[in-house]
């Protein structure tokens, strides 16, 4: 029974990370790509690590997995936030702003 639940978790986690990977190619501008990458990162980490925890018999390995989960939940959103802020600080424009400039340019 637990086996099936963990398999479901794993599959769904893998699916989300695949969508994230496709997202960083398909999305129009940088900020949506960062959004796609970091959101799917977090969700797939949670799902896969829970899937793995179910497979262990809840000993030291499970604690290590939880430690990884906490660590990654703390660091990867922060890293993506810092990246986006630095990109913004570095003068990167969002899609809306580039379109509005073009419109202003056209009129």
Partner 1 sequence: MLVLSATCIAILSVMALALARALKADTVYDRILGVNMFGTKTALFIALMGFLSGRPDFLDIAIVYALINFLGMIAVLRFFEYTAGDENQEQEK
Partner 2 sequence: MAEIIDLVLLGMLAITAFNIIFIKDLFTVVMLFGIYSFLSALIFVNLDAVDVAFTEAAVGAGISTVLMLGTLALTGRKEKASSHKTILPLLVVCVTGAALIYGTLDMPLFGDPDNPAHQHVAPRYIEDSPQEIGIPNMVTSVLASYRAFDTLGETAVVFAAAIGVLSLLGLPKRDRATIQSGLKSHLVLRVVAKMIIPLIVLFALYVQFHGDYGPGGGFQAGVIAAAALILYALVFGLPMATHVVPPRVLKALAALGVLIYAGTGVVSLFLSANFLDYSVLAEDPVAGQHIGIIAIELGVGITVFAAMLCIFYAFAGQTERKNIQ
Nearest-approach distance from CB 104 to partner 1, in angstroms: 22
Q: Work out what residue 81 binds among partner 2, partner 1, none; the CB cut-off runs from 5 to 8 Å by kind.
A: partner 2
Binding segment (CB under 8 A) for partner 2, from list 24-32, 49-57, 73-81, 95-103: 73-81
Tell me the per-residue interface mask from 10 to 49 with partner 1, x by CB under 8 A, - otherwise.
Answer: xx-xxx-xx-xxx-xx----x--xx--x---x--xx--xx
Site for partner 1 in 49-88 (CB under 8 A): 49, 51-52, 55-56, 60-61, 64-65, 67-68, 71-72, 75-76, 78-80, 82-83, 86-87
In DSSP notation, 14-58 reads: HHHHHHHHHHHHHSSSHHHHHHHHHHHHHHHHHHHHHHHHHHTTS
- Dihedral angle over CA of 25, 28, 31, 33, nearest 10: -20
Q: End-to-end CA distance of the chain, in Å? A: 64
Nearest-approach distance from CB 48 to partner 1, in angstroms: 6
Nearest to 38 by CA among 93, 94, 77: 77
């Amino acid at each position: 029974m637990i086996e099936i639940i963990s398999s479901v978790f794993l599959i769904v986690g893998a699916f989300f990370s695949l969508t994230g990977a496709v997202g960083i190619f398909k999305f129009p501008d940088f900020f949506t790509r960062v959004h796609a990458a970091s959101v799917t990162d977090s969700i797939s980490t949670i799902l896969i690590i829970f899937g793995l925890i179910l497979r262990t018999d809840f000993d030291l390995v499970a604690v290590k997995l939880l430690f990884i989960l906490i660590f990654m939940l703390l660091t990867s959103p922060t890293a993506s936030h810092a990246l986006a802020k630095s990109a913004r600080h570095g003068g990167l424009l969002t899609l809306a702003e580039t379109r509005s400039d073009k419109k202003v340019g056209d009129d």
